């Protein structure tokens, strides 16, 4: 499946626009010009493989959590796989 705005919207809606790590309610659109500190929804590839766009490999994160999970990738992959399986 192609990683496009429609797929991203579907994942964000599935996750109710809630960051699946810190549980913060997210804005539906990124509004940088209005508030650069606003927390917008991003879609994260659980296995870090940008070509794997299956819905089971995608999860909604806030921008800040998405940046923070770029270290210890093996641990985060396991964590998110468990989380997505529970849903």
What digits encode the pLDDT tens for the residues 45-79?
Answer: 999 999 999 999 999 999 899 999 999 999 999 99
- 1 or 65: which carries more pLDDT confidence? 65
Mean pLDDT in the chain? Answer: 88
- 76 or 35: which carries more pLDDT confidence? 76
pTM for the model stands at 0.85
What's the Cα-to-Cα distance from 10 to each of 38, 39, 46, 49, 59, rounded to whole Å?
Answer: 21, 19, 16, 19, 10
Q: How many angstroms separate the CA atoms of 21 and 63, rounded?
A: 11
| Percent of the chain surpassing pLDDT 70 | 86
Q: How many angstroms separate the CA atoms of 28 and 35, rounded?
A: 14
Give the gyration radius of the chain's Cα atoms: 12
């Amino acid at each position: 499946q192609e990683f496009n705005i429609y797929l991203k919207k579907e994942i964000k809606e599935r996750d109710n626009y809630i960051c699946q790590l810190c549980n913060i309610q997210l804005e539906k659109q990124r509004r940088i010009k209005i508030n650069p500190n606003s927390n917008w929804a991003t879609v994260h590839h659980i296995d870090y493989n940008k070509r794997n766009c299956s819905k089971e490999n995608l999860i909604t994160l806030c921008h800040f959590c998405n940046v923070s999970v770029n270290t210890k990738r093996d641990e985060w992959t396991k964590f998110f796989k468990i989380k997505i399986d529970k849903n």
